[in-house]
Amino acid sequence: MNIRLVPFTWARHIHAALVVMAATLLGYWGLLALCALQGPFWSPTADLNVLLGVFGLGSGVGAVLVQGSLESKPGTWWRKGLLWAALGGFVSAHLGAGLGAYVTAFAVPGASEAYAVAPVLSVLKYSIASFVCAGLFFGLLMGWWRKASLALYACVGIVCGLGAAMTWHLTAGIVDLYAAAAAAAMAWGGAFGLLAWVVPRRLYSGWVRVLSGSRFGVRVRVDDDGDASELVAGHYPRGMDLWLPAEEGVREMHLSVAVDSEQNYKARGLSLYPTRVTRSLEKLDLRYDPARPLPLETPLRSGDLLELGDGQAQTVLEFVMLPRQEDAS
């Protein structure tokens, strides 16, 4: 997996979910292969515990895979990740499911009588506690591994368990348990991937790229090392971050693009000459107004166009978020 394949768009919010979903599904497929070739070596009453453990394993592996590859983690991180997130994911979800079964026996009315008649029962009412507890335990483990907020990950885990439970129950009623478990695997992995970890902004940086004139294609990174900085574009003959010719409508120190420590980008108009920011359904005039104490500025989003000058003598720049690994070629 490569950060270059995850653009800074809506896609980055679901990319992790897709990977974790696929990994969880593969985990379930592996479980079926094991059962088909070797047969289950556990009691039939523990089928749900094993399934949820495999969900934890698959989701853990998926989480390690997506984070490790996108952030280019070193080998030691991978080894620890596979041990804690993958193996730990299985154990935590498996144990949580088992605990949920005990909770069911005591807390759900009629459960112990129903299980006395039929030791194996495939009913949501008697299984939901297992799903929720498995999700909770898994979430807590992943939160600890990622050194993130345990409360947040606990909630994420519970959502994973509930989503898997609902999907499993609905699909089992319409199709069968084979498809139901596959649907539950995708629900579990998708919920975890969507809610727990989004591809972070820090893996991207802002670039300004020239779209017109003699300097077409030149691009300059706004922040090199992730700290707050400011890039100035203009016709000033010495020391300009982005030098652009005057014949193409650019004035001395025409525009600046700044970034703060939280990676929020903004454009500032420094010139009396036409300076516009154009995005879909919106055009902003950032021309410097001497009556104002400070230059006008606006937050920048990836894809915004910056127009310097007017008419035929105009230079158009583009602000775009690209992976930090991109070279300034």
Partner 1 sequence: MIRWLLAAGIIGCAGPGELGDGDLERLPGSLTRVEESNPDPGRFQLELMATEGDCQQLKNEGVLERLDDCLPRVETGNGTVRLAYRLLDGGVPLALPVQRDVQGRIDPHRFISVSHEGDDVRDRPESAGTGIEQRLQLIPHGETTEAAQLFVLLIDRSNSMRNDDGTGTSRLQRVQQALLTRSVVERFFSSDKNRVMVLSFAQDVRASGGDSRQLELIDNPTRFHEVITGLRADGTWTHLYDAVANATARAIKRPEVEGYLREEKALPTVIALTDGFDNQNNAESCGDNAAGLRRLLKLLDRQRSQVSTEILAPVVYTVGLGTPALPDFPYINGDSENREFLRLQKLAQNPTPAGLCGENADTVIDPPSGPGLEDRGIDNASLEWIAARGGGRAVITTDRSELVQAFERAAAKRYEWFELQYHTDPTDFRQSFEVTLKTKAYADTQASIRFHPASAFDLPEAQASVGAVMGAAAPFRSTAALFLPLLGVLISLAFLGAATFNLRRALSRETPRSSKDSG
What residues from 241 to 260 belong to the interface with partner 1 (CB under 8 A)? 245, 247-249
Structure tokens at 269: 């108009």
**DSSP-derived secondary structure for 10-72:** THHHHHHHHHHHHHHHHHHHHHHHHHHHT---S-GGGHHHHHHHHHHHHHHHHHHHHHHHHTT
Task: Give how far Cα 83 sits from Cα of 7, 77, 86, 226, 269, Å.
Answer: 30, 10, 6, 31, 52
Closer by beta carbon to partner 1, 36 or else 291? 36
Classified as helix, coil or strand, 311 is coil
Q: According to CB under 8 A, which one of 147, 312, 327, 328 is a site residue for partner 1?
A: 312
Minimum gap (Å) between residue 51 Cβ and partner 1: 5
- Which residues in 134-173 contact partner 1 (CB under 8 A)? 168, 172
- Residue type for position 224: D
Q: By CB under 8 A, is residue 10 in contact with partner 1? A: yes
Minimum gap (Å) between residue 145 Cβ and partner 1: 18
From residue 195 to residue 214, the character string flagging contacts with partner 1 as x (rule: CB under 8 A) and all else as - is: ----------------xxxx
Closer by beta carbon to partner 1, 247 or else 289? 247
Structure tokens at 283: 């055009």
Q: By CB under 8 A, is residue 115 in contact with partner 1? A: yes
The window from 77-85, 90-98, 270-278, 293-301 that contacts partner 1 (CB under 8 A) reads 90-98
**DSSP-derived secondary structure for 21-38:** HHHHHHHHHHHHHHHHHT
What's the CA angle centered on 126, arms 123 and 132, to 5 degrees?
110
- Which residues in 251-310 contact partner 1 (CB under 8 A)? none
From residue 24 to residue 53, the character string flagging contacts with partner 1 as x (rule: CB under 8 A) and all else as - is: -xx-xx-xxx-xxx-xx-xxxxxxxxxx-x
The window from 67-75, 81-89, 91-99, 281-289 that contacts partner 1 (CB under 8 A) reads 91-99
Q: By CB under 8 A, is residue 83 in contact with partner 1? A: no
All residues at 6 or more sequence positions from 222 whose CB lies less than 8 Å from its CB, including other chains: 205, 206, 207, 208, 229, 231, 257, 258, 259, 265
Give the count of residues interacting with partner 1 (CB under 8 A).
84
CA atoms within 13 A on the CB side of 310: 7
Q: According to CB under 8 A, which one of 21, 156, 159, 257 is a site residue for partner 1?
A: 21
Closer by beta carbon to partner 1, 29 or else 78? 29
Minimum gap (Å) between residue 272 Cβ and partner 1: 19
Measured CA to CA, the distance from residue 216 to residue 89 in angstroms comes to 50
Closer by beta carbon to partner 1, 212 or else 263? 212
Torsion of CA 30, 139, 88, 46, to 10 degrees: -60
Chain length of the chain: 329
Note whether 315 and 249 are within 8 A (CB).
yes
Minimum gap (Å) between residue 290 Cβ and partner 1: 27
Q: According to CB under 8 A, which one of 19, 154, 158, 277 is a site residue for partner 1?
A: 19
Q: According to CB under 8 A, which one of 149, 216, 285, 325 is a site residue for partner 1?
A: 216
Q: According to CB under 8 A, which one of 156, 180, 233, 258 is a site residue for partner 1?
A: 180
